[in-house]
Structure formats: C-alpha cells, structure tokens
Amino acid sequence: MEKSVQDTVHGVIKLEDWMVEIVDTPQFQRLRRINQLGFANLVYPGANHTRFEHSLGVMHVTRLLQKRIGFDDVVVAAALLHDIGHAPFSHGSERLLEKYAAYNHESISKVVRGELKDKLNDLGFRISEIEAIVTGKRKSVVNGEIDADRMDYLVRDSHYTGVAYGVFDIYRLIDKIKFDDAIIIEQGGVKAAESLLISRFLMYPTVYFHHVCRIARKMYERAIERIIESGFEAERLIMMDDMEAMMLLKEKEKEIYDRLNNRKLFKRAVYVSRRSLDFREVMRVNERRAEKEIAEIAGVDEKYVIVDIPPVEEMKESGVMVETDGELKPLEEVSLLVKALKDATAENWRLGVYTEKKFLDRVGKAAVDYFGIEKVVQKSLDEIFPH
C-alpha cells in the first residue's frame, strides 16, 4: 500500500508503508523546521522550503532511478535520510560542528537515535550501511558527481527562489543514467548534464553565495560560536531546529537575534574577487585572527567585524563518466562547455569583510590594507558596492 504526497516540484510522490514509518518519526519530522537554504529568504522571500520536502524529493528521484537501474531499498532509505544530520539553518551550522564537535552532517549515525533507530532496526536496515551510502563510501546514485541530491535541490531551490537558472531537464537526465560502480551518463544525456552544470554554475553566485546570504550566515555563525565558547555544548546543536537556534540567540546574543529577525544586517566593507589580492596567502588566513586585527586597526569592537573567506567551489560534476562510442570519458572531455564552466567556477569566489553601516569606511580601509587589496578598491567602496 502506498501513500501519496503532493510535491511542488515533482507532483505526486508515492511513499510505501516502510517509508511512511521512517517519515513519521520525530527525528525525521525535525527536518520540517530546518530551512533548506538557511537565510536565503532574506533575499528571496519565497525560499522557505525545508530539508523535509527536499528529502522526499531526493527519495523520489532515487526511486525513479531504481526502476531504471535496479538496486536495493537500502539506497532509497539512504536517499530519504541523507539530510537527517543537518543542524539549524542547514550549512549555517556546519563549520561550527566540524570545529567544535568533529561532526559532519553526513555522519548520520550520531543523530539516528530513539524512535528512528528502532524503526530502521525493525525494518531490517543497518545504520552503518545507510551512512556508508550517504557519505559516499559505498557508491550509489545518492552521493556522486551527478546524483539524486543535486538533481532535486537545483530544481527545488530554483522554484522557491524564483530564480530560473536552476531549470534543466531532470527527467531526460534520469532516463539517460546508468550505474556500474559509479554513475555513468549515456551519450544522449550529455545535453541534460550540461544544462544541470550551467544551472549549478549560475545558482551559486545568485543564490547560495549571494552576499546577503553570506552576511546573515556569518553573523549567525559568529554569534553561535561566541555562545559555544562561553560554555554551550556544541553537540546540542545537532538535534536542534531553526526556531530553537533562534531562541538560543535571543537568550544569549540578543543584538544578533534582533538583526537577523529584522533584517538589520551588516554591510559589505570589502567584497572582491581573487584577482584583486594574493589568493594563496588569503586562503591561509585565519578568519578570527583577521577580524581581531582589522578591528584593532579600525578602532572598532571585534564583534562588529566579520571576515568571510569561503572555500573554493569545485565543479566535481564535470568528472562524471560519459559513455561515448563504446568508451568511458569524463564529461569535461566530452563537452567543451563543461570544461569552460569548470574553469570559470573559480571566478565566482569572493572575499568579504562585513561590518555595521557606521563603520564601513574605517573597516573597509583597514581590510584593504590588511589583505593588500589593489588600491582601486579604496576609491569609493560605497560606489563600487552599493548597499
């Protein structure tokens, strides 16, 4: 017997009884209260979708692939549970948990407890096997260069933000995927795969790394970090949801709570590409140390300076194998477009220094000197980067 769920992106999603048993546990229901895109709704008001519906979507895509390729239900269970380990505001808590709790959201064995653990045991699933699939230790369609996770989140995030860049022919791609120890794209699926990579390339700077999203995320991150360093146990974050995290901020970091709640965010004092600085040197910089030193130079309280040195996004999808003329070749070798996209991905990277509006000039000048940014940036930060 199956249960039907009406999904905004995929239409009707069918859930078998065993899936319903997993979904109805408190641990899975928590995902209803974890925003898929963290603070992106401060930029795109419609971006209020959650890890819950995304998890159902990934499961749905995985089942479609299961019907085409054929694999056991543990892979479908892993698709359903691949995000069960996300903490408040999704990736907004990830760096903190890695630093203070040696935790990654794919390490689901730490959060599969209580009723969910009992259900999985009753259903005959081994948690260690599910975790191996989620982390990619066991190759599957759930975690790979082009996988069910990417196929769902790009179209879903595009729909809810209203940004059309995430649109690609997901069902054509599903129809042209094979699996042989790794995901393989048939020749007829190359255009759909190219379209997915174009979507990813455009969605990162437009949505995932939009400067307002980064500022809000870093404000949240720094405030929670101060709370942890004052004695709060970092591992408690793992089982919390967005509302509980906001209540923690309200109690311990009222100013940041008010700013996030009312969209009174810090502004960009500096926001530059890798071409404007010594990129290798900057990637070795400790953000916290830089904040302290820039604050001292600028003569402002350290808590009003945030340095954001994001990781460099790599287009791993370009390495997915394509079956062409009886041979297997990486997609980037088959497609000149994909190779160009991979090379261009690094250009999306930005160094950000954020502060309260009244400190923009002082912090901007201090940051320009600190990072050795080309002096043209000093010309008129407000003019170059309108607030």
287-305 pLDDT tens trace: 999 999 999 999 999 999 9
Asked whether 366 and 298 are in contact (CB, 8 A), the reply is: yes
Categorize the per-residue pLDDT at 375 as very low, low, confident or very high, splitting at 50, 70 and 90.
Answer: low
What's the longest Cα–Cα distance across the chain? 67
Task: Please report the pLDDT score of residue 2 as a whole number.
Answer: 86
Distances (CA, A) of 57 to 114, 139, 166, 172: 25, 20, 15, 16
Task: Please report the pLDDT score of residue 379 as a whole number.
Answer: 41
pTM above 0.85, yes or no: yes
Q: Where are the domains of the chain?
A: 2-208+314-346, 266-312+349-387
Nearest Cα neighbor of 304 from 245, 258, 358 is 358
Between CA 171 and CA 175, with CA 173 as vertex, the angle to 5 degrees is 70
Q: What average pLDDT does range 324-352 have in this prediction? A: 92
Token pair listed for 313: 């996004």
181-216 pLDDT tens trace: 889 999 999 999 999 999 999 999 999 999 999 999
Q: What average pLDDT does range 138-156 have in this prediction? A: 94
3-58 pLDDT tens trace: 999 999 999 999 999 999 999 999 999 999 999 999 999 999 999 999 999 999 99
In this structure, the chain runs to a length of 387
- β partners of residue 321: 184, 330
Asked whether 146 and 183 are in contact (CB, 8 A), the reply is: yes
To the nearest whole number, what is the mean pLDDT of the chain? 93
14 half-sphere exposure, CB direction, 13 A CA radius:
6
Q: What average pLDDT does range 360-367 have in this prediction? A: 97
Task: Please report the pLDDT score of residue 378 as a whole number.
Answer: 41
Categorize the per-residue pLDDT at 166 as very low, low, confident or very high, splitting at 50, 70 and 90.
Answer: confident
Categorize the per-residue pLDDT at 167 as very low, low, confident or very high, splitting at 50, 70 and 90.
Answer: confident
- β partners of residue 267: 355
Give the amino acid at 253: E
User: Is the torsion defined by CA of 293, 298, 299, 304 positive or negative?
Assistant: negative
Asked whether 157 and 37 are in contact (CB, 8 A), the reply is: yes
Task: Please report the pLDDT score of residue 377 as a whole number.
Answer: 42
Q: Is the pLDDT of residue 264 over 70?
A: yes
Q: Is the pLDDT of residue 384 over 60?
A: no
48-80 pLDDT tens trace: 999 999 999 999 999 999 999 999 999 999 999
Contacts of 130 (CB under 8 A, 6+ apart): 74, 77, 78, 81, 108, 112, 120
Three-state secondary structure call for residue 6: strand
Q: What average pLDDT does range 311-325 have in this prediction? A: 90
What is the CATH architecture of 2-208+314-346? Orthogonal Bundle (1.10)
Task: Please report the pLDDT score of residue 383 as a whole number.
Answer: 46
- The distance from CA 111 to its chain's CA centroid, rounded to whole angstroms, is 19
Nearest Cα neighbor of 156 from 83, 257, 70 is 83
